[in-house]
A and B are shown apart, each in its own frame.
Chain A
Amino acid sequence: MSGGSDGTLRRTLSALRHDPPAVAGTVVLLLLLVVGVAGRWLAPAGVNDVDVDQMLRPPSLDHPFGTDELGRDVLSRVLVAARVSLEVGLVSVGIALLVGVTVGLLAGWYRGWVDNVLMRGMDVLFAFPVLLLAVAIVAVLGPGLVTAMVAIGVVYTPIFARVTRAGVLSVREQVFVRAAVSIGASDARIIRRHVLPNIAAPLIVQTSLSLAFAILSEAALSFLGLGVQPPDPAWGRMLYDGRGFVTEAWWLGVFPGAAIFLTVLAFNLVGDALRDVLDPRQLTVSEANRSRA
């Protein structure tokens, strides 16, 4: 076991500090957070300031990321779109976490028919390719930001259900759980106080990795025109709009594409580092660092 809860956070942070990719990932995520919150004010121009005299201008001092076919400032649009990506990522993963963990807890704790019904349902969702399922859900609910969030949330729910169920199945056999039953603790109390804290580590890791995939999925949905609706900027939508000018105006695709790439990479780096550090099989932080070297 990785030790007590008060020491775990400190140790995790100290281990991450000695891990250059994790530090880089964290820095990018912090920047992204700042841009997500304050993008509207950081942007040098309005996102929908059309200027027909400035159409398809390459990057310059006035427009560091160039302008699009309507003369809008690409940098401003990329900055403002960060908020959409973050929102969709957080809300959809939040939905997946809430529903998935609940399903996994019930399935793993009660087993039997509860387990069968819930997990077979999850298997059905899991069987579809991610994007196909998301597209199908959006097709039913109608395109838009909120439905994209719901669709991505549904798509990532089974992963959380599985991770949670696997953890519950192993923790519920531990003697300390039997001890809690012998004391007379209720199921709700045992799940809340004993099971959840002991499966938190894999869930934290899964959350950080899923954020990356959720943002990628949002970009894909927006690219397909099923996410954020124009004229609101979204990275995936900007890629779609720029694809027609890929030979004459490379900046239309490269900058939103790089934003997606950096965001996903940062979440992945942090997620990987967390996985190594929080792995309960690693006894100490120094061992975790050694094995990663």
Chain B
Amino acid sequence: MSTGPSHAAGEPLAELDDLRVWFPAGGGVQVRAVDGVSLTVRRGETLGLVGESGSGKSTTGLALLRLVDPTSGHVRVGGRDVTRWSRRRLRGLRRRVAMVFQDPQASLDPRRTIGASVAEPLVVHRLVDSAQARGRRVAELLELVGLRADLAGRHPHELSGGQRQRVGIARALAGEPDLIVLDEPIASLDLSVQAQIMNLLRALQRDLGLTYLFIAHDLAAVEHMSDRIAVMYLGRIVETGTPAQLYRQPAHPYTAALLSAVPVADPKVERRRRRIILSGDVPSPVDPPGGCRFRTRCPQARPDCVEVDPVLVEVAAGQRAACLYAGEAVRAMRGGPA
């Protein structure tokens, strides 16, 4: 069981417990997209979930909404185990947990108006009892995300990428959810628009008391937004902690490598800093390496790492890492001979 750091005050809102999601890949083999993940999202916080493509971060997010079926483990939302709930039963749950997708163009039905898309949760969950009330609520939601209410009559292709993502957010808010899974919500947007959407998400969280699971492929995207960050690699969580902890004192070599990929805005620091370049590709999740999964790319891999599959251990208050040489390996990478 995962227990978050004590500073996050809220009660657990959603929990994954030793979750595995394996997909059949033909020929009898299984893709182990998520392979033993435990994490807890607490009410009111933002949990950043970071990893490369193929790390299983998006599948983890989908599993939280039961949009994919877990192979084993448990999904709990609001204290209730929803792992085995039927689709019919899940429909009620889906009002409380919403999702914002990476590609706002693809996530909106091209044949339906913006208003119809935003209103869909209202209709599905019977939250309004008349067309007028629905129209008013849609206008309210559009204004809440910084769009003009008259966009309700437009179609997605008439909007810009940033506007479309605002529509996606408005739709997610329509059911007044407790938790929103943000699956790389800014990754496919222009840089200038990314900042606007981040500010919007932050303002909405403050005003509406939302809880976020924020999925991203780099640490920089979630650093300023997250109360805690979990780093995923090949279907496992390899390190969790506060942004400050991970930035100042990463304990897992993979976290350190991810951090070193983030450019520093100060040219002097940027010139001096040592970058850790990982060699090779992420191994196939069909047949992950035995022992530590990161060992094939770890600059500090040692003989033990082949034998022992490391579990998450506390390395500082609220910071946990799954590395046999947590801390030590990172110090060696950063300070040791090049």
Judging by beta carbons under 8 Å apart, are A179 and B99 in contact? yes
Closest to B105 in A: A175
Judging by beta carbons under 8 Å apart, are A184 and B95 in contact? yes
Tell me, yes or no, whether B275 is within 8 Å of chain A by CB. no
Tell me, yes or no, whether B171 is within 8 Å of chain A by CB. yes
Judging by beta carbons under 8 Å apart, are A4 and B158 in contact? yes
Tell me, yes or no, whether A293 is within 8 Å of chain B by CB. no
CB distance from A222 to the nearest CB of B (A): 41
Judging by beta carbons under 8 Å apart, are B106 and A174 in contact? yes
- Report how far A213 CA is from B49 CA in the complex, Å: 57
Q: With A183-B171, A186-B91 as given contacts, are A176 and B67 in contact (CB-CB < 8 Å)? A: no
Judging by beta carbons under 8 Å apart, are B120 and A183 in contact? yes
Judging by beta carbons under 8 Å apart, are A182 and B91 in contact? no
Residue-wise interface mask of A (1-15) relative to B, using a CB-CB cutoff of 8 A (1 in contact, 0 not):
101111100000000
Tell me, yes or no, whether A50 is within 8 Å of chain B by CB. no
- Report how far A5 CA is from B157 CA in the complex, Å: 11
Q: Which residues of B contact A185 (CB under 8 A)?
A: 91, 120, 124
Residue-wise interface mask of B (7-39) relative to A, using a CB-CB cutoff of 8 A (1 in contact, 0 not):
000000000000000000000000000000000
User: Which of A7, A176, A183 sits near B124, CB closer than 8 Å?
Assistant: A183
Interface residues of A in 219-241 (CB under 8 A from B): none
Q: A-side binding surface: helix, strand, loop or mixed?
A: helix
Judging by beta carbons under 8 Å apart, are A184 and B121 in contact? yes
Judging by beta carbons under 8 Å apart, are A189 and B124 in contact? yes
CB distance from A244 to the nearest CB of B (A): 55
Greatest chain B CB density within 10 A among A174, A179, A180, A186 is at: A179
Interface residues of A in 21-53 (CB under 8 A from B): none
Greatest chain B CB density within 10 A among A3, A6, A175, A198 is at: A175
Residue-wise interface mask of A (50-69) relative to B, using a CB-CB cutoff of 8 A (1 in contact, 0 not):
00000000000000000000
Tell me, yes or no, whether A172 is within 8 Å of chain B by CB. no
User: Which of B94, B154, B155, B158 sits near A184, CB closer than 8 Å?
Assistant: B94
Q: Which residues of A contact B168 (CB under 8 A)?
A: 179
Instruction: Give the interface size bracket for A toward B.
Output: 20 to 34
Greatest chain B CB density within 10 A among A4, A176, A182 is at: A182
Interface residues of B in 58-116 (CB under 8 A from A): 65, 67, 87, 90-95, 98-99, 101, 103, 106-113
Closest to A189 in B: B124
Q: Which residues of B contact A194 (CB under 8 A)?
A: 109, 112
User: Which of A180, A181, A189, A198 sits near B110, CB closer than 8 Å?
Assistant: A198
Tell me, yes or no, whether B125 is within 8 Å of chain A by CB. yes
- Report how far A186 CA is from B92 CA in the complex, Å: 11
Tell me, yes or no, whether B241 is within 8 Å of chain A by CB. no
Interface residues of A in 119-165 (CB under 8 A from B): none
Greatest chain A CB density within 10 A among B87, B93, B125, B155 is at: B155
- Report how far A193 CA is from B112 CA in the complex, Å: 9
Greatest chain A CB density within 10 A among B67, B98, B108, B120 is at: B120
Tell me, yes or no, whether B51 is within 8 Å of chain A by CB. no
CB distance from A281 to the nearest CB of B (A): 13
Tell me, yes or no, whether B175 is within 8 Å of chain A by CB. yes
User: Which of A6, A184, A187, A198 sits near B90, CB closer than 8 Å?
Assistant: A184
User: What total of chain B residues lie within 8 Å of the partner, measured CB to CB?
Assistant: 32
- Report how far A182 CA is from B180 CA in the complex, Å: 11
Interface residues of B in 157-179 (CB under 8 A from A): 157-158, 168, 171, 175
Judging by beta carbons under 8 Å apart, are A197 and B92 in contact? no
CB distance from A15 to the nearest CB of B (A): 18
- Report how far A3 CA is from B155 CA in the complex, Å: 8
Judging by beta carbons under 8 Å apart, are A1 and B110 in contact? yes
Tell me, yes or no, whether A178 is within 8 Å of chain B by CB. yes
Q: With A4-B111, A175-B103, A197-B111 as given contacts, are A183 and B175 in contact (CB-CB < 8 Å)? A: yes
Closest to B65 in A: A182
Judging by beta carbons under 8 Å apart, are B125 and A176 in contact? no
User: Which of A1, A179, A197 sits near B101, CB closer than 8 Å?
Assistant: A179
Q: With A182-B65, A182-B67, A184-B90 as given contacts, are A4 and B107 in contact (CB-CB < 8 Å)? A: no
Q: Which residues of A contact B93 (CB under 8 A)?
A: 184
- Report how far A194 CA is from B152 CA in the complex, Å: 18
- Report how far A6 CA is from B124 CA in the complex, Å: 24
Q: Which residues of B contact A5 (CB under 8 A)?
A: 111-112, 155
- Report how far A179 CA is from B156 CA in the complex, Å: 15
Judging by beta carbons under 8 Å apart, are A4 and B155 in contact? yes
CB distance from B232 to the nearest CB of A (A): 21
Give B residues with C-beta under 8 Å from A.
65, 67, 87, 90-95, 98-99, 101, 103, 106-113, 120-121, 124-125, 154-155, 157-158, 168, 171, 175
Give A residues with C-beta under 8 Å from B.
1, 3-7, 174-176, 178-187, 189, 193-194, 197-198
Q: A175-B101, A179-B168, A182-B98 are in contact. List 15 more A-B contacts (CB 8 A).
A: A4-B111, A4-B155, A4-B157, A4-B158, A5-B155, A176-B108, A178-B67, A182-B65, A184-B91, A184-B93, A185-B91, A187-B87, A194-B109, A197-B111, A197-B112
The 4 closest A-B pairs by CB, nearest first: A4-B155, A184-B94, A184-B91, A175-B106
Provide a sorted-by-A list of 28 A–B residue pairs whose CB atoms are within 8 angstroms.
A1-B157, A4-B113, A5-B111, A174-B106, A175-B101, A175-B103, A176-B107, A176-B108, A176-B110, A178-B67, A178-B101, A179-B107, A179-B168, A181-B67, A181-B94, A182-B94, A182-B99, A183-B124, A183-B175, A184-B91, A184-B92, A184-B94, A184-B124, A185-B91, A185-B124, A186-B124, A189-B124, A198-B111
